[in-house]
Structure 1
Amino acid sequence: MAKENPAKEQAAKDKRRWRVSRRGFLIGLGVVGGGLALGWRFGLPAARLGIANGLEEGGAPGGAEVSPDLWFEVNPDNTVSLYLMKVEMGQGVHTALAQLAAEELELPFENLQVIPASTARGIEDGFGTGGSTTISSLFTPLREGAATLRLMLQAKAAEKWSVEPDNLVAMNGSFFKQANPEETMTYAEAAQGVSDWEIPKDKPELKGIREFAVIGQPMQRVDFTEKLTGRAVYGYDARVDGMLYGAVARPPRFTATLKQASEGTARAVKGVVDVVIEDDFAGVVATSRGAAYRGLEALELDWDLGETYQQADIDALTQVRPGEGVVVQKEGRVAAKLKSATSIRAEYHSPMAAHAHLEPQAALVEVRSDRVIAQVSTQSPQLVRDEIAEALKRKKEDVEVTATYLGGGFGRRLNVEVAVEAARLSQAIGKPVHIGWNRSEEFRHGYVRPPTHSVLEAALDETGKIQAIRHELASGDVAFPFLPAFLSTIFGADFGAWRGGRFHYEGIENREVLSQRVKLPLKTGWWRGLGLLANTFAIESFMDELAHASGQDALEFRLRHLSASDHNQRLKRVLESAAEAAAWGTTLAEGRAHGIACSTDTKTVCAQVAEVSIEESKVRVHKITTAIDPGLIVNPDGVKAQTQGAIVFGLSSTFFEKLTIQDSQFAPQNFDTYPLITMKETPEIEVILRQSGEEPFGMGEPPLGPVAAAVANAVFALTGQRLRSLPLTLS
């Protein structure tokens, strides 16, 4: 037997131990990014592996300025701080994530403090907060981290009491002895004076669904008080002493480029402090935002206007070219079946749309000699950090970005220009600079939802069952503009564009989807749900057309084409739940009708029934009844709120939102020419929650899918008019 090496054994032991010198107790979790073809999910490593990785780096857990870890901190008052890189933009994820942590910590929910992490402290979250993946991606790693922290504290409590850890029970942020329950020690007391922590040898055992006491409960949002009292800091609110305001020259058309710039009379404008002109960039810094914009107007700018495009050009480009798409779904022999039978065909369109969030993008950046500090309204702090570092030729670790609260995100804040603009101005003048876009800039210079065109064709057998079905869709880019160019060659079709475009009716043996990439002369990109709304509108409207053509009830027609798979049975349950709650098939008040639609997205299934009437030649929606199954429900109130918000968002697009261009310019510049839905037009929304499984799925976007189709189908049931273009307009 080989002789043991004491020095090597001690070194290995030291690697498993963690020495901290700062007050309290910190624990780091390495959460590995694992990009996947159709989504951005964090890997699910054991928490102890992440901790070991942190130890290997040496010193980071002791409070180093930069660490790619997720942090817990036990405070002297027996609260625990949870530092989250995921961004809160109204969707309630900070609350749900806090529930996950509190559950495994055995900590009262009110004792957990959520703190937005900066890029110097939080996990390496390459994609950011989007894609309805926050809760599902962190469900296991966050609970593992919390359980590991609890076990490490329990070991120290046992050591102080000179008992075995198994003799202790954790409850409400304290440990007590099983033999003497009246003797307790808080987590803070267990951590007090300890500088040497040992990692549990085994991966922590997590609670089962039947043991949950915090998960599944309707907890009050952790940001409630801040927002109620006005203390919440949004990007537009960010302030530091000595801060100045910036404004940047923008092209008069989306095809224009800056040829030449000079100061003109900008420096003579009251309040203007400096003018910054670089090769492709011109900006003004002033003591107020108004002065900065007035200074901007005084610059002398020469633009190359580029080509001129009209809306008709965009419409002509966004057309399906039969047979040219990339196959993204193929089951059975669609071509042969369609060729041998009489088919039904229909086309559907959706326009460009703005994000129209209430808070335009904003950033406060201070460029110092040794580091850059930024507060930004962004969904992706790490991406902003990387862009600032590249623009200023700095190391990434010298740039610290913290995401503020967001006044709406919807994908627009995954890629923001404002942070680099503020950074360039700050570097030029040596002072912190705040830039907040105005409403016109947001409408005219951001990226937009691309237009779409869908062509659907199907053949029915003599019983009215679908023999074969095909969906060909054409869309501008959604994800490709923000990804390495080689990926567009690999994928061929933008996976964001065909999101929601595949058939989820597994009872149809022959089904095929082809997606075509449309290259447009303007910036398109992320938008809430990506292609989900437009594609579901097309598919679910077409399913309704097929049901009507074959004389079948729209609900029964859908149910008939579902299989016995778990996914399709979940879809069946939400369809039946929504229909039952809405009294589908019963006689409604005169002048009213129902329409139904369903969708699946990020494994979440959703069905909606719309009740509509026609008043003064316009469609009025009285009620949306929705049933949704997002897997395991972490916070029922949060799920209901997200469902209601997504439906309202979808209704706004269903009836009002349409972005057009004229002379290579976006026509709308404010809400007077780009109206949104108002409270007056918002219907009653009933949400039925159906829970299944032991893990949560996506929630922020799935309820958006069916709403436009449900309304359009109800309009057809009432009027006989088949509306195939968004926004819906009666002829």
Structure 2
Amino acid sequence: MSKTARTDSTNPRKWRLTRRRFLIGMGAGAATLAVGAAIGVPIALPRIRKGINQMFILGEGEMPAPTTPDSPLVWFEIGEDNVTHLYVPKIEMGQGIHTTMAQIAAEELELDWNQIVVHQADMMHGFEGGTMMTFGSLSTLLLYQPIRETAATMREMLREEAARQLGTTTSDVVAAESMCSLQNDSAQQLTYGQVVSNKQGEWNIPETVPTLKSVNEFTKIGQPLQRVDFREKLTGRAVYGFDARMPNTLYGAIARPPRYGARLRRASVGTAEEQPGVVAVVIEDGFAGVVAERRMQAYAALRTLELEWSGGTELNQDELEQMVTVGRGGVITQDEGAVPQTLGDTPISAEYRTPLAAHAHLEPQAATVDVQPDQVMAYISTQIPNMARDEIAAALNREPEQINILPTYLGGGFGRKAGHDVGVEAARLSAAVGQPVHVGWDRVEDMRYGYMRQPTHHVFQASLDEHGNVRAFEHQVASGDIGFAFEGGFPGGEFGKWLAGADPFAGFGSLITYDEIPNRRVVYHRTKIPVPTGYWRGLGLFPNTFAMESFVDEVAHAAGADPLEFRLRHLSISNELSERFRTVLQTAADQAGWETPPPKGRARGIACSLNAGTVAAQVAEVSVTNGKIRVHKVTCAIDPGLVVNPDGARAQVEGSIIMGLSSTLYERATINNGIIETANFNNYPLISMRDAPEIDVVFINDSDHPIGGLGEPAIGPIAAAVGNAVFALTGERLRELPLTIESQVT
């Protein structure tokens, strides 16, 4: 079972830090045991440009987990009713992370699966620092070990206390299914709730980390257990940002500029205050909004305001593409061997482009905020609650400790809900009227005024030796900002960005991972554009992998080699990461029948990528009819290390492929006269169910590798796999997304 944020924020949990850096809950009551994990790791970010390569490697799963010494990453509470409550900092946006966290906890704590409730924690209940972030496919990667160790510690505390209550030794007590019983007499047993209820005095914390289970001892990890949130969502009780309300909630609408960068020069109330249901018109500091009793009343009144805007860009699509172009200079983010000396006079070369793209999540931005003199309560669809808190605090000139963010379920996030503009808007309106205000963007607002996926331009060069092997490979990429787009999104502010030179998130997927290529270089060109850009599923992974793996295919064909064999040839057998790449490539190819001819009129393409410690390879089988590309089947082999919940993992892979395929074939946001013109689904189409392919997922479930992420890695290879298949079928190389074809193949 899963619950959204608790609301008893006036009585937050207090914690006592133990020597082993576990946190014991204080003030929980005599019949409650609360244990949390305080495992803080400082963020290690490079301070000089020579260290920027390590930032790009973060895409391979090296992101640390920030926290403060007295703040838990995660905690458990067990009461006398024998129900275990698990409080987690990760936001549930459909990816099943609450179920994953519960399975990890239930495994080591030996819980009855029906006796665990997962809670989305809020900012007033222990979490500080940077722990309340959900992005980058890092949730399981970061919390797998802390949750296991905390759960195992709590299990041993319960076993020891149960032994005392049963008059025996701890070694004679077995924990299973939320109960402690005697090893040789299961009739003598106590539920966890009874152990807690009967406890007197202080709990004893083990001096060493308890022995964790081996993989072959798992009974819950690795099983397709039922999602903990399915009942809430099935019955409509789940609370999303658009659903959240407080007593006496009003509705707000905000004036939007006609062009990016335009400023509100003059605003007059006009007849807005006379419109039905209007409570207030708020005009302050370049901001104009209306508060009304109903949403549509607020929007109707907003249209009667007399507004004058000045400045802003008049950028058009052609000008945008000219801005996002590889030029001179740049920051070298990968440099091995001697690329300039080994490219030769006539290298193989190509250019690729990817466009702006929207997130198009089902639920647009929404927040309900109540600003009171001593506290601010805010329900927000957010992936990063602590950043939402800080932004609202800054807008209201309040201390962050006064702001309680209560995260809701997200109807899709994909990086867009790492931005909190809607929360700030609702807070400003609430502060003006002294009541809770709900602001929910409509679809046009969401697709026009939210930030977009950054456009990119790629220039490649490569040379071959006399044996058809790659001697040198260079990738130059120009990209709009991702992490650099946000204030506070990089250590040191603008100076830190200048010093680093390259946006690390924009670099995901840009490195050359074929380690048998002796000379490799990647050069990053930062491009600042007036269109807001930012986080999008996979960050730079999708556009960079499309370009990279498409060009690898070009070089393979120039060498007269099979694309699979060519890739395998350039991955060493002595490197663990390369061996993982070889495994997923060969597995995907075998599963897709790479060596057997496809049905008539079809062809296959292959591609691979690395992200969040997970390697993936995909084979796409396509046809082209009357200029329309049809993807019939996608075979994906993926190695995330250990798979916690196969059903949830498969859903994440399938969702990534579908989202990536939609962007591959359909999605392109365009700008005209300084504003996005593709602002609704009538001119920004998405993939439909009838065009969705068969998807075959094979997991390389290898517990010998560190656990990796699954929310984004599978989005990487799909565009290149499809483009490579189209080339194999038609001989036409498509170098720009979305893929459109001149050939008429039937």
Question: Does residue 717 of structure 1 match 2:722?
Answer: no
Deviation at 1:163, TM superposition (A): 2.7
Q: Is the 8 A contact 2:589 2:619 kept in 1?
A: yes
3-state SS of paired residue (1:599): strand
Q: Tell me, yes or no, if the aligned pair for 1:78 and 1:188 is still in contact at 8 Å.
A: yes
Cα separation, 2, equivalents of 1:204 and 1:34: 25
Q: Single out whichever of 215-224 and 97-106 deviates more from structure 2.
A: 215-224
Q: Counterpart of 1:123 in 2: which secondary structure?
A: coil
CA–CA distance in 1 between the matches of 2:136 and 2:261?
30
> 1:726 corresponds to which letter in structure 2?
L
What does the per-residue CA deviation read over 1:273-316, in whole Å, with 9 as the maximum and x for residues that have no partner?
11112112111111100001111111121211333211111111
Q: Could you tell me which of 494, 504, 509 is aligned with 1:500?
A: 509
Q: In structure 2, do the counterparts of structure 1 residues 17 and 244 end up closer, same or farther at CA, with 3 Å as the change threshold?
A: closer
Q: Does 1:177 align with 2:187?
A: no
Mapped partners of 1:579, 1:605: distance in 2: 15
Distance 1:19 1:550 in 2: 67
Within 5 A, what are the aligned runs for 1:257-276? Answer: 257-276=263-282
Distance (Å, rounded) in 2 between the aligned partners of 1:372 and 1:351: 39
Match in the other structure for 2:14: none
SS of the equivalent of 1:314 reads helix
Q: Deviations over 1:214-267 (max 9, x none)?
A: 111111111111111111111001122211111111111112011122221111
Unmatched tracts of structure 2, length 5 or more: 1-17, 46-54
Give distance in 2, aligned partners of 1:381 and 1:663: 35
Residue pair 1:459, 1:469 contacting (<8 A) in 2 also: yes
Which residue in the other structure is 1:469 paired with? 473
Shift of the 702–172 alpha-carbon distance from structure 1 to 2, 3 Å rule, reads: same
Alpha-carbon shift at residue 519 of structure 1 (Å): 1.1
Cα-to-partner distance string for 1:79-123 (whole Å, 9 max, x where unaligned):
101111200111111111111111110112222111111111143
Q: Classify the secondary structure of the residue corresponding to 2:298.
A: helix
Cα–Cα, structure 1 residues 68 and 21, in superposed 2: closer, same or farther, change >3 Å? closer
CA distance in 2, matches of 1:494, 1:18: 40
Query: 2:82–2:192: 8 Å Cα contact kept in structure 1?
Result: yes
CA shift digits 1:23-62 (9 cap, x unpaired): 52222322425324435845499xxxx9xx65xxxxxxxx
In 2, Cα distance between the equivalents of 1:452 and 1:408?
24
Provide the C-alpha distance between the structure 1 equivalents of 2:66 and 2:179, rounded to a whole number of angstroms: 28
Read off the aligned partner of 1:725 and give its amino acid letter: E
Secondary structure at the residue paired with 2:242?
A: helix
Q: How does 1:401-480 map to 2 (within 5 A)?
A: 401-480=405-484
Does the C-alpha gap of structure 1 residues 407 and 202 become closer, same or farther in structure 2, counting only changes over 3 Å? same
Deviation at 1:77, TM superposition (A): 2.4
CA distance in 1, matches of 2:36, 2:565: 52
Say which SS state the counterpart of residue 353 (structure 2) adopts: strand
Of the three residues 537, 547, 556, the one matched with 1:528 is 537
8 Å CA contact retained: 2:25, 2:33: no
Q: Secondary structure at the match of 2:203?
A: strand
Moved more, 594-603 or 714-723: 594-603
Contact map agreement 2:37 2:74 (CA 8 A) in 1: yes
Q: Does 1:612 align with 2:622?
A: yes
**Normalized against structure 1, the TM-score is what?**
0.93
Counterpart of 1:543 in structure 2 is: 552
Residues 17 and 198, structure 1, Cα contact 8 Å, conserved in 2: no
Between the aligned partners of 2:154 and 2:432, the Cα distance in structure 1 is 45
Given candidates 704, 710, 715, the residue that maps to 1:699 is 710
CA 1:19 to 1:459, structure 2 compared with 1: closer, same or farther past 3 Å? Answer: closer
Match of 1:130 in 2: 135
Deviation of residue 542 (structure 1)? 0.8
* Partner Cα separation in structure 2 for residue 28 and residue 229 of structure 1: 31
**Counterpart-to-counterpart distance in 1, 2:543 and 2:26:** 54
Equivalent AA in structure 2 for residue 344 of structure 1? I
Using the alignment, how far apart are the partners of 1:397 and 1:702 within structure 2? 36
Helix, strand or coil at the partner of 2:340: helix
How far apart, in 2, do the equivalents of 1:417 and 1:560 lie? 48
Partner Cα separation in structure 2 for residue 485 and residue 148 of structure 1: 44
Aligned mate of 1:186, from 185, 191, 200? 191
Distance 1:197 1:709, change over 3 A: same
Q: 2:121 matched to 1:113?
A: no
Q: Say whether 1:32 aligns with 2:40.
A: yes
Q: Do the aligned residues in 1 keep the contact of 2:313 with 2:530 (CA within 8 Å)? A: no
Which position in structure 2 is the counterpart of 1:93? 97
1:667 and 2:672 aligned: no
| Closer, same or farther: CA 12–587 of 1 in aligned 2, 3 Å | closer
- Measure the CA separation in 2 of the matches of 1:716 and 1:253: 39
Partner of residue 382 from structure 2, selected from 378, 389, 401: 378
Instruction: Name the CA distance, whole Å, in 2 between partners of 1:388 and 1:166.
Output: 52
Deviates more, 1:661-670 or 1:148-157: 148-157
Instruction: Give the alignment of 1:210-359 within 5 angstroms.
Output: 210-322=216-328, 324-339=329-344, 342-359=346-363
Checking the alignment, whether the CA contact within 8 Å between 2:43 and 2:66 is kept in structure 1 is no
Residue 558 of structure 1 corresponds to which residue in structure 2?
567
Q: Once the 2 structures are TM-superposed, how far is the Cα of residue 131 of structure 1 from its aligned partner?
A: 0.6
Aligned to 1:729: 740
Residue 335 of structure 1 and its aligned partner are, at CA, apart by 1.0
* 639 and 18 in structure 1: CA distance in 2 versus 1, 3 angstrom threshold: closer
In structure 2, distance between residues paired with 1:554 and 1:420? 50
Distance in 1 of aligned mates of 2:392 and 2:348: 53
Q: Distance in 2 between matches of 1:42 and 1:122?
A: 19
One-letter code aligned to 1:256: A
Matched, 1:165 2:190: no
**Is the 8 Å Cα contact of residues 247 and 283 (structure 1) preserved in structure 2?**
yes
C-alpha displacement at 1:694, in angstroms? 4.9
Shift of 1:68: 5.4
CA distance 1:258–1:677, shift in 2 (3 Å): same
CA shift, 1:558, in A, is: 0.6
Go from structure 1 to structure 2 and tell me whether the alpha carbon gap of 1:294 and 1:33 turns closer, same or farther (over 3 Å shift).
Answer: farther
Residue 5 (structure 1) aligns with: none
The residue number in structure 2 matching 1:6 is none
CA distance in 2, matches of 1:402, 1:358: 20
Give the letter for the 2:727 counterpart. F
* 1:268 to 1:31, Cα distance in 2 relative to 1, 3 A: farther
Once the 2 structures are TM-superposed, how far is the Cα of residue 19 of structure 1 from its aligned partner? 5.3
Q: Which amino acid aligns with 2:582?
A: K
Q: Where in structure 1 are there 5+ consecutive unaligned residues?
A: 1-10, 55-66
What is the one-letter code of the residue matched to 1:196?
E
CA RMSD of aligned residues (A): 2.0
Work out the CA distance in 1 between the residues paired with 2:39 and 2:244. Answer: 29
Q: Contact conserved, 1:613 with 1:620, CA < 8 A, in 2?
A: yes
Residue pair 2:23, 2:36 contacting (<8 A) in 1 also: no
Question: C-alpha distance in 2, partners of 1:710/1:17?
Answer: 51
Q: 1:107 & 1:716 partners in 2: Cα distance?
A: 53
Q: CA deviation at 1:512?
A: 0.8
Q: Is the 8 A contact 1:446 1:523 kept in 2?
A: yes
Task: Decide which moves more: 168-177 or 203-212.
Answer: 203-212
Q: Deviations over 1:150-196 (max 9, x none)?
A: 12222222222233323211111111122433200111001105363
Structure 1, 204-213 or 556-565: larger mean CA deviation: 204-213
The whole-number CA distance in structure 2 between the counterparts of 1:572 and 1:368 is: 58
2:161 match: 156
Residue type of the partner of 1:207?
A: K
Deviation sequence 1:525-550 (CA, Å, 0-9, x none): 11111111111111111111111111
For 1:282 and 1:321, the matched residues in 2 are separated by 40
Deviation at 1:496, TM superposition (A): 1.3
